[in-house]
């Protein structure tokens, strides 16, 4: 317990120190795990690949659920097709291109190279979600990346298992493997929708309970969606993502608190995953294989991934800039490292050579891609202006069906100028501005309160009057700044 406490405190202080350099949390957590592991301080000896897989699978459920919870329905409809193509065909193309080049450079046999590249062929949800969640980047590009990373695990697992059996000389039925993959994909989505809609129905039936019971119920739904899908040989990870997606697009009781709870679960799970993976690594073995890991990273990142993205999204309406961003946002993380334990368990990687090569490539991916993805979005002009970080929030707790919503209206000071008094607004009847957040200070408004650019208004309004209220605030009393002024 003492060592765990020290590890957590270290993570927080190191994260605070490196914040200005935008070092991802997962890199810090990995580093702390390595430092406290067997080869550095020796405080914790850990080399159990099977236990690692079991623990990280549980943690990954929370990461994927939070990712689905944050994904909006309108975004998913647009990106589903290119994301699923990348998650299926893209994984296979990445592995094949990578294996061909790796075999040519190092003269490995093709099956071993294909096994190595199959393991690292999928992008990783825990890495992608934890890095992109703090960026304000083009919705189309980030949505494709998130959905792809959440749905490409089944293909990577099946491909790795298939190549591993080829390596072991086992007979493999191609038709059954294709059917297994299709069921894993479709079944996972189906069970996710089933549990999501069941949870939506039951949430609305639970009345007047303390918010803690809603958190407990949410945990139950996460485990239920994963467990039911896995019991039926479908993808539990896929089910968790889509159950989160359904619930995240539903108006739930204590919606803001539930959203905060899922964020917290995801954050803690990410820390746990990467500390554990750091503990599993033995850096003393790196000198013999570091070059393989570096070359693998370069092949996958700069050759295989870009070719795959441009081939699989050729008929979609993505711009060149979005394709470049998608190529660079193919971050590797937890799942490739976990898949790298498969050869160890199968007995064909007793010296952990494949595992360590994959680990080095993943670390490089997180370090270089994870820390520069925001800068690339700036260069490509894909960054959206981030909404003001509101530290004071209000929530309308809808325990019963009502016709009112509590909405936020942000007066963007880069787009609007001017001012007006609340009493001068011709708001619909039964509409009330309940609070104004100005520079993270709270104002209790009256009719004589002046609204200024940069304010965040919290407005209680009937659902059918939301659009009218918003238009009234924006169009009547605030002059829109000219495009020339915005660009300057």
Question: Domain-by-domain residue ranges, the chain?
Answer: 2-379, 404-487
- Number of helices and strands (H, E) in the chain? 22, 8
pLDDT of residue 482: 45
Its pTM stands at 0.73
Give the confidence band of 387 by pLDDT, cuts at 50, 70, 90: very low
pLDDT of residue 484: 39
Cα(472)–Cα(467) distance, rounded to whole angstroms? 9
pLDDT of residue 302: 96
How does 35-64 read in b/e, with b if 16+ C-beta sit within 10 Å? bbbbebeeeeebeebeebeeebbebbbbbb
**Residue 207 pLDDT > 80:** no
Q: What is the DSSP letter of 19?
A: G
**Residue 371 pLDDT > 90:** no
Lowest mean pLDDT among 167-176, 280-289, 311-320, 414-423: 167-176
**Residue 221 pLDDT > 80:** yes
Give strand ranges (E) for 264-422: 404-410, 416-417, 420-421
Tell me which residue of 425, 463, 462 sits closest to 445, measured CA to CA.
Answer: 425
| 217, 266 contact by CB (below 8 A) | no
Q: Average pLDDT in the 363-373 region?
A: 85
238 three-state secondary structure? helix
**Residue 361 pLDDT > 80:** yes
Helix pair angle (139-151, 73-106), 10° resolution: 60
Predicted confidence (pLDDT) per residue in 34-64, tens digit = 899 878 888 888 877 778 778 888 888 898 8
- Our CA angle for 181, 160, 116, nearest 5°, is 150
What are the residues whose beta carbons fall under 8 Å from the beta carbon of 457, sequence distance 6 or more? 408, 409, 410, 411, 433, 435, 436, 451, 473
Give the confidence band of 487 by pLDDT, cuts at 50, 70, 90: very low
Q: Average pLDDT in the 333-357 region?
A: 85
**Residue 196 pLDDT > 90:** yes
> pLDDT over 70 for what percent of the chain?
88
Token pair of 194, please?
Answer: 């089933």
Decide whether 2-379 matches 404-487 in CATH topology: no
Predicted confidence (pLDDT) per residue in 147-157, tens digit = 888 778 778 88
Cα(54)–Cα(328) distance, rounded to whole angstroms? 30
pLDDT of residue 112: 94
Lowest mean pLDDT among 88-97, 100-109, 244-253: 244-253
Lowest mean pLDDT among 226-235, 340-349, 367-376, 383-392: 383-392
Selected residue with higher pLDDT from 385 and 308:
308
pLDDT of residue 131: 66
CB atoms within 10 A of CB 204: 16
Give the confidence band of 172 by pLDDT, cuts at 50, 70, 90: low
CATH topology of domain 404-487: Alpha-Beta Plaits (3.30.70)
Cα(66)–Cα(269) distance, rounded to whole angstroms? 11
CATH topology of domain 2-379: Na+/H+ antiporter like fold (1.20.1530)
**Residue 327 pLDDT > 90:** yes
pLDDT of residue 407: 83
Q: If residue 441 lies in a helix (H) or strand (E), which one and from where to where?
A: strand 441-443
Tell me which residue of 371, 319, 361, 311 sits closest to 336, measured CA to CA.
Answer: 361
Across all residues in the chain, what is the average pLDDT?
Answer: 83
Selected residue with higher pLDDT from 407 and 483:
407
């Amino acid at each position: 317990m003492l060592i765990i406490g020290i590890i957590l405190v270290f993570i927080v202080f190191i994260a605070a120190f490196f914040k200005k350099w935008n070092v991802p949390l997962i890199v810090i957590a990995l580093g702390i795990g390595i430092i406290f592991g067997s080869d550095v301080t020796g405080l914790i000896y850990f080399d159990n690949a099977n236990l690692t897989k079991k623990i990280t699978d549980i943690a990954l459920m929370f990461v994927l659920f939070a990712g689905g919870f944050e994904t909006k329905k309108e975004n998913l409809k647009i990106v589903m097709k290119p994301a699923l193509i990348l998650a299926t065909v893209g994984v296979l193309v990445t592995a094949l291109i990578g294996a061909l080049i790796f075999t040519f450079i190092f003269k490995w046999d093709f099956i071993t190279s294909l096994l190595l590249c199959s393991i690292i062929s999928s992008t990783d949800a825990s890495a992608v979600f934890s890095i992109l969640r703090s960026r304000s980047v083009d919705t189309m590009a980030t949505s494709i990346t998130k959905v792809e990373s959440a749905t490409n695990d089944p293909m990577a697992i099946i491909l790795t298992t298939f190549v591993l059996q080829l390596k072991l000389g086992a007979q493999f039925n191609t038709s059954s493997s294709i059917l297994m993959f299709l069921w894993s994909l479709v079944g996972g989505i189906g069970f996710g929708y089933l549990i999501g809609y069941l949870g939506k129905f039951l949430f609305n039936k639970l009345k007047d309970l303390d918010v803690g019971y809603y958190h407990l119920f949410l945990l139950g739904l996460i485990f239920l969606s994963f467990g039911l899908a896995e019991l039926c040989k479908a993808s539990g990870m896929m089910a968790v993502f889509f159950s989160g997606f359904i619930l995240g697009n539903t108006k739930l009781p204590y919606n803001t608190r539930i959203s905060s709870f899922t964020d917290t679960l995801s954050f803690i799970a990410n820390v746990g995953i990467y500390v554990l993976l750091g503990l599993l690594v033995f850096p003393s073995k790196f000198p013999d294989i570091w070059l393989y890991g570096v070359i693998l990273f370069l092949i996958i990142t700069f050759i295989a991934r870009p070719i795959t993205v441009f081939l699989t999204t050729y008929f979609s309406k993505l711009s060149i800039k979005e394709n470049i961003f998608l190529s660079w946002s193919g971050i590797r993380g937890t799942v490739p490292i976990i898949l790298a334990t498969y050869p160890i368990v199968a007995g064909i990687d007793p010296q952990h050579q494949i595992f360590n090569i994959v680990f080095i490539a993943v670390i490089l991916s997180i370090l270089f891609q994870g820390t520069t993805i925001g800068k690339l979005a700036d260069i490509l002009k894909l960054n959206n202006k981030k909404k003001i970080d509101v530290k004071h929030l209000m929530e309308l707790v809808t325990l019963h069906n009502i016709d009112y919503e509590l909405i936020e209206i942000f007066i963007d000071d880069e787009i609007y100028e001017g001012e007006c008094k609340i009493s001068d607004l011709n708001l619909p009847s039964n509409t009330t501005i309940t609070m104004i957040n100005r520079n993270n200070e709270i104002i209790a408004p009256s009719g004589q309160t002046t609204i200024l650019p940069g304010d965040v208004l919290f407005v209680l309004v009937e659902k059918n009057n939301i659009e009218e209220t918003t238009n009234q605030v924006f169009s009547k009393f605030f002059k829109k700044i000219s495009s020339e002024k915005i660009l300057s």
